[in-house]
Amino acid sequence: RKEVEQDPGPFNVPEGATVAFNCTYSNSASQSFFWYRQDCRKEPKLLMSVYSSGNEDGRFTAQLNRASQYISLLIRDSKLSDSATYLCVVNANNNDMRFGAGTRLTVKP
């Protein structure tokens, strides 16, 4: 079983839609959680950290459920520019990060 698992998608949604990505992790000792965004043929870039109480940044909301070892990312009012692959990232025992395989999102006009 992979340490970090994501639905690979692809998610194809119309502009303005709300879309949610889920991620599960296996290491119950994990303390740090992130969502990264990776555009085609580019490097991953930090989108947002995920805090225990949940956090919001504009149209993006991240949630953490430690009991279920589950992280989510909600994107409201999708824009064409949101099209990318979204990577779930969790820290490991040695504090290194483990990346999920990514969920691909395509927002269509």
Partner 1 sequence: EADIYQTPRYLVIGTGKKITLECSQTMGHDKMYWYQQDPGMELHLIHYSYGVNSTEKGDLSSESTVSRIRTEHFPLTLESARPSHTSQYLCASSEWGYGYTFGSGTRLTVV
DSSP string, 67-106: TTTEEEEEE-S--GGG-EEEEEEEE-TTS-EEE---EEEE
Q: Least separation, in Å, of the C-beta of 34 and partner 1?
A: 5
Q: Which residues bind partner 1 (CB under 8 A)?
A: 31-32, 34, 36, 41-46, 49, 87, 89, 91, 95-97, 99-102
Nearer to partner 1, 16 or 45 (CB): 45
Minimum Å distance from CB 7 to partner 1?
13
Identity of the residue, 69 or 91, whose beta carbon is nearer to partner 1 in the bound complex: 91
* Residues in CB range of 19: below 8 A, 6 or more apart: 11, 13, 74, 75, 78, 105
**Minimum distance of partner 1 from residue 44's CB (angstroms):** 5
Beta carbon of residue 51, minimum distance to partner 1 (angstroms, whole number)? 13
**H or E element in which residue 20 lies:** strand 19-25
Question: Which residue reads 């994990």 in tokens?
Answer: 30
